Amino acid sequence: MSSQPDPRIIVALDYSAAAPALTLVRRLDPTRCRLKVGKELFTAAGPRLVEQLVSAGFGVFLDLKFHDIPNTVGAACRAAAGLGVWMINVHALGGRAMLTAAAEALAGLPNAPHLVAVTVLTSMRAADLLEVGVSDTPEEAVERLTRLARDCGLAGVVCSAREAAALRARHGPGFLLVTPGIRPAGDKAHDQVRIATPAEAVRAGASHLVIGRPITQAPDPLAALTRIESEIEGMLP
């Protein structure tokens, strides 16, 4: 991997076009944050935008949550690696064969991105899981899927901060825990359910915090980033 600084904050570029995303990015610092490109922006702007962000010095988390047959997911992971991104993800519910295919597709590649698995979306409650046939609580499902991802050679998982402390205790300091659903105290939850403040997430053991609207919709995004950095500074080892 690159020797660039290792900022914990990943700014979610939840935009429908490249222009506003690039306007925001020009106000940020690649030594202080990474960027997340998800389905909406990638569908609108494509690989070219990702390459622009990488060229600007940002570590990019390509958040496309691949979930398909093993061969297709392996090929998609190799294609994503070719864009020079820092991290990619797949859905742990794709199962052992798919997760293994994803990990094997990246094995041996120069500067391969970190591969993490989405466990349970932070918008889901126990009732939502039950409706799709999962009788576990969110915490139980996250732990089971995390064990599977680790067994298949993945670098970490995407989970809510509510599960981070238990996962950190069980899986040790080197395992990546990427936590969306981060809201500074007093901010609206929007469509997230299992949320936490930045300080709570870091205290629980999160390695990286995905934060969107509290930064992207702030009048001064860099000032908002600075406030969040200050909030978590006292929690860092």
Residue 237 has pLDDT above 70, yes or no: no
Query: Was 217 annotated as part of a binding site?
Result: no
- How far apart CA 104 and CA 19 sit, in angstroms, is 35
Query: Was 183 annotated as part of a binding site?
Result: yes
Query: Was 63 annotated as part of a binding site?
Result: yes
Query: Was 89 annotated as part of a binding site?
Result: no
Share of the chain above pLDDT 90, in %: 87
Query: Was 190 annotated as part of a binding site?
Result: no
Query: Was 195 annotated as part of a binding site?
Result: no
Report which of 112, 13, 107 is spatially closest to residue 58, judged by C-alpha positions.
Answer: 13
Query: Was 39 annotated as part of a binding site?
Result: no
Q: What is the pLDDT of residue 236?
A: 62
> Mean pLDDT across the stretch 86-111?
97
* pLDDT per position as a tens digit, 6-28: 899 999 999 999 999 999 999 99
> Mean pLDDT across the stretch 86-91?
98
- How far apart CA 111 and CA 27 sit, in angstroms, is 27
Query: Sign (positive/negative) of CA torsion 221, 225, 226, 228?
Result: positive
Q: What is the pLDDT of residue 184?
A: 77
* pLDDT per position as a tens digit, 134-177: 999 999 999 999 999 999 999 999 999 999 999 999 999 999 99
Report which of 163, 170, 59, 71 is spatially closest to residue 121, judged by C-alpha positions.
Answer: 163
Query: Was 64 annotated as part of a binding site?
Result: yes
- How far apart CA 160 and CA 173 sit, in angstroms, is 17
Asked if 111 contacts 151 with a C-beta cutoff of 8 angstroms, the reply is no
pTM for this prediction: 0.92
- H or E, element range at 78: helix 70-81
At 55, is the secondary structure helix, strand, or coil? helix
* pLDDT per position as a tens digit, 180-215: 989 776 555 444 555 789 999 999 999 999 999 999
- Structure-token match 């702007």, residue found: 45
- How far apart CA 100 and CA 102 sit, in angstroms, is 5
Task: Give the 3-state DSSP-derived string for 189-236, with helices as H, strands as E and coil as C.
Answer: CCCCCCCECHHHHHHHCCCEEEECHHHHCCCCHHHHHHHHHHHHHCCC
Catalytic residues: 65
Domains of the chain, by residue range, sit at 9-233
Report which of 62, 54, 53, 116 is spatially closest to residue 84, judged by C-alpha positions.
Answer: 54
Q: What is the pLDDT of residue 185?
A: 62
The third-level CATH classification (topology) of the domain covering 9-233 is TIM Barrel (3.20.20)
